[in-house]
Amino acid sequence: MRSVEPEVFLVAKPSVDYDELARYLHEIGGESWLERLERGEFDAQNLAEFAGRLCYRSFEPGLNPNVTRIRQDQDAYLRNILASAHGSVLEHLSFSFVLHNVSRVLTHELVRHRPGVAISQESLRFVRLNDIPFWFPEWAREDAELMKRATEMLDRMEEFQKWMAAHFGLDEDGVPFAEKKHRTSFMRRFAPEGVGTGLVWTANVRTLRHTIEARTAAGAEEEIRLVFNRIGEIMREEAPALFGDYVVEDGAWVPGYRKV
């Protein structure tokens, strides 16, 4: 048994092609909006603002005859997007995370969030276990008898994985990969649901806002609360105007604007 901690890595986020944006804005006469924009650091926010303004052609007063004044401050503009529940523009902004050393307890719960999400998970049909990575919450680590018994059990399960690999001769020369896959698929049945695994999880901002709230709530499972607290912290750094309305109360991320 190998003791691990769940980790979150942000591996991809929105990037705006400002040259192409400028070409479009030149077509409609909205170039001055781009001149006001701060480029580079908060591309996700810039893309959200662009998508929202395109809906009403509100880059400048007068481009749409019905629009005689506009909000020029981005924070104020995006705050109004959240307040008015104009959440469709947030679906253009996707962030990709690697969730590392998370259990299948967590992944089984995470797959319930499907709209606006893409998932690629490590397959234990193909990936053979040579140890059992396992996370223990702090309260469990403080229980000496529990840790002794749990560690002994996990060590036996790990040893059984190694015994099966040797018994099936999986490391011998010439074993077809199809045979390895067949045996490995059987062997994973003897791994605990708490075994550490990994996945790429991509979600748009509309989904992220909902999932952060739901999975840090007081009644959520403790490991997923830990992971989504970290995701919330990352998103507040990446897009403060879109996640700055949250208040953290006893670990629960409570948004100022719901149902966006």
Helices 177-187 + 144-167 axis angle, to 10: 150
| Block residue for tokens 């901690």 | 5
To the query of whether residue 215 is one of the catalytic residues in this protein, the response is: yes
For the chain, how many residues are written?
A: 260
Rounded to whole angstroms, the Cα distance separating 161 from 187 reads 7
Question: Residue 84 and residue 78: Cα distance in Å, rounded?
Answer: 10
**215, 225, 236, 258: which is the annotated catalytic residue?**
215
**C-alpha–C-alpha distance, residues 231 and 243, integer Å:** 11
Residue with tokens 């469709």: 88
* CA dist list (Å): 159 to 129, 156, 179: 10, 5, 21
Place of tokens 């529940």: 85
Positions marked active-site: 215
